[in-house]
Structure 1
Amino acid sequence: MRKTLLILGLVLLCNIVWAQQYHRPVKAVKNVILMIPDGTSIGVVSAARWYQIYNRLGGDNLNIDPYICGTVKTFSSNAPIGDSAPTTSAYMTGMPQQTGNVAIYPPADPENDLIYVDPAMAYQPLTTILEAARIEKNKATGLVVTVEFPHATPADCSSHYHKRGEYKYIASQMAYNNLDVVFGGGTSILTDDMRDRFTKTNTTLIENDLNAFRNFQGRDKIWALFGDKEHPYDIDRDSTLIPSLKEMTERAIAHLSQNENGFFLMVEGSKVDWVAHGNDAVGCITEYLAFDRAVGAAIDFARKDGETAVIILPDHGNSGFTIGRRDLKRYDKATKDDLFANVSKYKRTGEGLEKILINEKPENIKATFKKYTDIDLTEDEVESLLSSKNYKETDYMKKSESQNMGHAIVDIMNSRTYFGFTTGGHTGEEVFLAAYHPQGDMPLGMNTNIQINNYLFDVVGLKTPLKEMTRQIFAKHTDIFEPGSYTIDTSKDFPELTVKKGNNTLVVPAFKSIAYLNGQEIELGSVTTYIDVNETFYLPESLKDKISE
């Protein structure tokens, strides 16, 4: 009996310690900066640190190192290995989701779901931390990325849909979600309607103009986009045309901090993920280091400001990157030179070098490759480049079997290193967690993506539960309006809901934050969404009162 009581006592003590670790009070702060190096496995971080040491780029530590406080288990609602859309959506909404989902409740998958999923909630848009910070706390909000602005991670913060690739619907929501800052890529995605929205809301739009970006001093909302879609990798970037992630972060912070109520900013090192998909070692390392420099800028601001928290964590792993692989003999005797000398000579990613070589004459391939990598190509390697399907195929019978030049370049560059990759896709290991809080209230130990959402909720200082805010701003049209009083027109670019009551007519376009009451435009304060799967509009509950006035 005594032994049983002792065991029960130990179990209770362990539970108390666990509860204190995960649920201790968190002091809210004025400003919150969430930083996500997309698809960054811990192997990439380790290699970047050694690369920095080897090349004497700034000491023995990365900017995240003093602030690493735990790990995070990331997963989709029905799979341990997540896609970027559901993983950041989980951070933003507190609900893990399925592949492709952008800040919506996932459909149930009973045989595979890792958490309870309510079938009745399927496709319900879910309020994000960013939206709640603006609506409840009147904070300024911003996004800084190196890909096109409606890509998965930024979309997860500020839009809602069940397919991450529907940029038309996602981009419109982002333009109408009253963001104070958006820096990144994607000029080709802008529409006339979005431009009109910027004009009406006094939002300055800067396109491909680095000087205008650097000289902007106003208090207006600002979008600054560079490039049709994504930015080049940092090592390939023309610094006279495109700002670094660090510079964009600094300028976003400076602008957002003018708001007396504080701000919420999400910064994404977007293309660590992209280059990991391509198994490009030098790209993984240098792209992460560009992100880490942005972390340094954010931490510097936070430490001086005294009212800012910074949370840094990837959304998932990618590629199984390792220092060392099967052909590294006597791995325990491998020196820094063995491991980092060659990769330190590479001046371009595989993609960056491909863009140069694709326009070179065959006789110049060897010399140009040598210039950017210090590699003397073998004849077989030259042949692999010349026969690439996007260069010249020497044997038309083999054209369908040949690879792009970029793939061949990466293979050659990696063959001179000892970095390993297990896959070209995402991986399911825990990711690192780092945080700075002026009072030391950081999440510790192993956290789930749901617990990260809880922490963000607390540190922003939110009071209204996200579930309750979702009920208020994303109510089903069938729950607001009487049957027979409304029609839905899906023949337009954006579906429209028309509601008639007495002498009043309300028209609500999807994926915007406006409606028309008897022809007069009104602001809704949050975006509307239409889900085609269940033919449902989701919109503010308060519209019921508008049509009744």
Structure 2
Amino acid sequence: MKRRDFFKNTSILAAGTALAPLTGFAADHEIPVISGKTAKNIIFLVSDGMSIGTLTMANLFIQRRDGRSSHWLSLYEQQKAVRSLMDTASANALVTDSAAASSAWGGGVRVNNGSINVGADGTLHKPILQKFKAAGKSVGCVTTVPITHATPAGFCVNSGGRDDQEGIALQYLDLRFDVMMGGGTEFFSADKRQDKKDLFESFKAGGFSVLRNRQEMLSKSAADSKPVLGVFHEDGLPYTLDRNNDSAKAAAVPTLAEMTDTAIKLMEKNKKGFVLQVEGGRVDWGAHANDTGGLIYDQVAFDEAVGVAIAFAEKNKDTLIILTTDHGNANPGLFSAGGDVNANFDKIKSFKHTNDWILNGITSNHTPKQVIERIEAAQGLVFKQEEAASLLTHYQTMDGTGLYNPKKLPFKLLAEMQVKHTSVSWGSMGHSGDYVELAMYGPGSEMLKPMVKNTDLHQLMLRAAGLGA
């Protein structure tokens, strides 16, 4: 039986319940069938928390700044990709978190929010990178947030709680994946870990190449067969916009595209191929903060990593590219409420720093004039005296909302004030239950149906690689 027919006629089990077979493509949708081919390599790219408005605005931004479309949307324009909608729900909620969402791909079963490949009854679902490693492939993850964060972890480990990032770091030591790179130094450093273990030294003693900055990564020889742990910053890597306008950060911290390119070069020598997850994790953090500069520039940086993956796949026809997100977040968009939308949106091209940079540099001792000057220097936007004073009142109460906002800074208020300057508005500061974009390019993409559940991708990847159910 052909692999395509097997997939069409077989139900996929999720949380002990058989899903109905997925519907076929519409008759007018021509899909390139790659009969008999399997995917030697799989590059799974996730823009975490990417609502459709994020994908749209990044494409418009690239068009207006660079005179071309994004790499992702170019696949659509050139009719190279198979496109689908994906249902992102978790086992216990219509609105998933990143742990459950990545577990749906990684373990093939929906679990409760907060869990990583552990069912509500305690069942452990084997993560997909462990399966591919057992099949002889090289495996790895790169991300712009801690490498121990929910999305990479969902492809890698079992954990009852996504917040146990110290424990996840220990699991990586034992699992010995080929390439793991991102942020999160606090989960490996003796001075930050609760158990005071120096995991950097443990990884070195275990035969890993431990990389701590961009130059070490770029100079890493592909001929070196040691597994690689690259941890380049505490917590998440800096937002792309802030990194690009800080020479010290730009020299020390690699871009997502650079990490992707390095990971591919380190793993492509494996004759059995490789599987790589690439996550633009800061996209999600920018959405949670309603931070226009943070969001758009990090989505553009993610798209540059997409370009690296597509370039490799075009030279290596046995490579399957998967592009998607784990869930929507904040539902941002470009709206026509007041002012010249084109001119407003183009102001973002001149931004030098994010709202995160602006707000973290303000204290309760600042004057409204100093706040106005800081915002104008960072983004070229001129605020009024009363607006700056309103922002400053929140530095007395520290009552700001939004995830990844430990200082309770007034991200929401600043975003609301910026609407008249940028024409970018936000629906919330949290995840959404929207169906999301999913696209595939390369061998195995012919199996993708127009509407899928997130768990379907687990079996699709295995079958695309010729590993069966």
Confirm or deny a common fold (TM above 0.5): yes
Deviations 1:106-150 (A, max 9, x none): x2xxxxxxxxxxxxxx11111111110001x11111110011111
| Partner residue of 1:204 out of 201, 204, 209 | 209
Conserved in 1, the CA contact under 8 Å of 2:291 and 2:411? no
Conserved in 1, the CA contact under 8 Å of 2:99 and 2:154? yes
Deviations 1:280-325 (A, max 9, x none): 2222211111101100000101111222111111001111212216
Alignment size in residue pairs: 418
Shift of residue 352 of structure 1? 1.7
1:84 aligned onto 2:94: no
1:432 aligned onto 2:437: yes
Q: Which 5+ residue runs of structure 2 have no aligned equivalent?
A: 1-19, 76-80, 191-196, 244-248, 401-407
CA-atom RMSD in angstroms: 2.7
Distance 2:372 2:21 in 1: 65
1:102 aligned onto 2:106: no
Shift of residue 188 of structure 1? 1.6
Deviations 1:395-444 (A, max 9, x none): xxxx3667625444433333422222221111011110111115753513
One-letter code of the match for 1:213?
Answer: M
Deviations 1:222-262 (A, max 9, x none): 11111121111111113112111000000000001122211
Give the SS at the match of 1:48.
Answer: helix
- Please name the residue that 2:296 is paired with: 285
Give the SS at the match of 1:315.
Answer: coil
Give the SS at the match of 1:312.
Answer: strand
1:161 aligned onto 2:170: no
Question: How does 1:462-541 map onto structure 2 within 5 Å?
Answer: 462-463=467-468, 465=469
| Partner residue of 2:68 out of 59, 82, 88 | 59
Distance 2:50 2:291 in 1: 13
The TM-score with structure 1 as length reference comes to 0.71
- Please name the residue that 2:17 is paired with: none
| Partner residue of 2:168 out of 167, 170, 187 | 170
Q: Which 5+ residue runs of structure 1 have no aligned equivalent?
A: 1-14, 108-121, 394-398, 466-549
- Please name the residue that 1:350 is paired with: 355
Q: Which of the two has higher C-alpha Rg?
A: 1
- Residue 279 to residue 26, structure 1, CA distance change in 2 (3 Å): farther
- Please name the residue that 2:217 is paired with: 213
1:131 aligned onto 2:136: no
Runs of 4+ in 1 over 6 A off after TM superposition: 20-26
Conserved in 2, the CA contact under 8 Å of 1:74 and 1:448? yes
Bigger RCO of structures 1 and 2 (CA < 8 A, at least 6 apart): 2
Shift of residue 210 of structure 1? 2.1
- Residue 457 to residue 410, structure 1, CA distance change in 2 (3 Å): same
Question: How does 1:360-399 map onto structure 2 within 5 Å?
Answer: 362=367, 363-389=369-395, 393=396, 399=397
Conserved in 1, the CA contact under 8 Å of 2:320 and 2:444? no
Give the SS at the match of 2:309.
Answer: helix
1:270 aligned onto 2:284: no
1:227 aligned onto 2:203: no
- Please name the residue that 1:500 is paired with: none
Deviations 1:73-123 (A, max 9, x none): 111012211111001100111111111010122x2xxxxxxxxxxxxxx11
Conserved in 2, the CA contact under 8 Å of 1:141 and 1:263? yes
| Partner residue of 2:331 out of 320, 323, 334 | 320
Distance 1:460 1:278 in 2: 38
Deviations 1:319-338 (A, max 9, x none): 1212216x448xxxx65225
Conserved in 2, the CA contact under 8 Å of 1:143 and 1:266? yes
Distance 2:365 2:380 in 1: 17
Conserved in 1, the CA contact under 8 Å of 2:86 and 2:437? yes
Distance 1:442 1:416 in 2: 44
| Partner residue of 2:53 out of 35, 43, 57 | 43
- Please name the residue that 1:532 is paired with: none
Distance 1:311 1:436 in 2: 7
One-letter code of the match for 1:432?
Answer: E
Conserved in 2, the CA contact under 8 Å of 1:64 and 1:295? no
Distance 1:162 1:439 in 2: 32
- Residue 368 to residue 421, structure 1, CA distance change in 2 (3 Å): closer
- Please name the residue that 2:9 is paired with: none
- Residue 427 to residue 20, structure 1, CA distance change in 2 (3 Å): closer
- Residue 24 to residue 162, structure 1, CA distance change in 2 (3 Å): farther
Shift of residue 25 of structure 1? 7.4
Distance 1:98 1:372 in 2: 40
Q: More strand per residue: 1 or 2?
A: 1
- Please name the residue that 2:10 is paired with: none
Conserved in 1, the CA contact under 8 Å of 2:34 and 2:444? no
Give the SS at the match of 2:290.
Answer: coil
Deviations 1:483-536 (A, max 9, x none): xxxxxxxxxxxxxxxxxxxxxxxxxxxxxxxxxxxxxxxxxxxxxxxxxxxxxx
- Please name the residue that 1:246 is paired with: 257
- Residue 280 to residue 415, structure 1, CA distance change in 2 (3 Å): farther
1:140 aligned onto 2:138: yes
Give the SS at the match of 1:433.
Answer: strand
Shift of residue 68 of structure 1? 5.3
Distance 1:59 1:91 in 2: 32
